[in-house]
Amino acid sequence: MKTMHKLQHMLTLEELTPEGLTELLELAKAVKLSPNDYKTALTGKKVALLFEKASTRTRISFEVGVVELGGYPVVLSGADMQIGRGEPLSDTIKVMSRYVDALMIRTFAHETVETLATHGTIPIINGLTDLHHPCQVLADLLTIEEHLGSRQGKVLTYIGDGNNMAHSLLLGGALSGMEVRICSPTAYAPNEKIVSQAAEIAKATGGKVELFTDPVLAVKEAEIIYSDVFASMGQESESLERLSAFEGYQVNTELLHHAADEVIFLHCLPAHRGEEVTSEVIDGVHSVVFDQAENRLHAQKALMIELLGE
């Protein structure tokens, strides 16, 4: 893991130390509180934003964030570029490194961002891959601090597919000294290697990592409940099979009754209301999902300042 002042990329949250994560979140708070103080942080910087997956929050928050920091966003679609016709990624990033100062990419295979980081000479930001979603979890941790006062020792239960969200929550929660519980059917458990990585980090931070299959047990005394869609982008053909497999894993009012009294509900959005979460929960008093969505902007601005700011 790298220390904060040597941060080169954001491919996974393992790029950060616990101290570096704290510094980044403190910067995000400062950016949110006094945005005008940072409006020239990226003056003259050009940031390419490449989307191979559809996007709402990532697209808007990064584009607006670059502009608010005084930089220039270059928004690209994979279908519009030569990589869509077979140009090697290594060639593409070598060229882009001569045009822009950083690249944020939202894509499928995690190997894509690793290849870009290996062959380019500019910072690479993982806006989402099938394995990790680090920028989302930076916003999540910022939201947790705002609503609960701290991260250390908090109990976070994620209910759903052991996907990129589960993986980044494991790493981010472990770095924060949190107790992270991932609750999913056995066939949809998170990547074992990432679970082990998170467990190792947690040993040093006082955190804890646990896997559950019973949602009621998993949310006992939880202060944060987190949900995501059962079928992510690219898994549409599995939707019916997954809905059946995840029966009983819906976050609803009854399930919240088993958690801590002041529990907060998080969701990375978009939500499939009536599937993984009820409208009653996502619109209810425990939900902070729209604060969470807003915090994508502030956390990512802080990240870009660390990677690119003078």
Active site residues: 106, 133, 136, 228, 268, 296
Whether the CB-CB separation of 208 and 202 falls below 8 Å is answered with: yes
Say how far apart CA 160 and CA 227 lie, in whole Å. 6
Pairwise CA distance, residues 256 & 273, whole Å: 16
Could you give the CA distance from residue 64 to residue 55 in angstroms, rounded to a whole number?
A: 14
Beta pairing partners, 210: 181
Would you give the end-to-end CA distance of the chain in angstroms?
23
- State the Cα–Cα distance between residues 216 and 70, nearest whole angstrom: 47
Name, in order, each residue with C-beta under 8 angstroms of 21's C-beta and a sequence gap of 6 or more.
13, 141, 172, 175, 176
d(CA 257, CA 295): 27
- Report the alpha-carbon distance of residue 63 to residue 207 in Å, rounded: 34
All residues at 6 or more sequence positions from 68 whose CB lies less than 8 Å from its CB, including other chains: 35, 38, 39, 297, 301
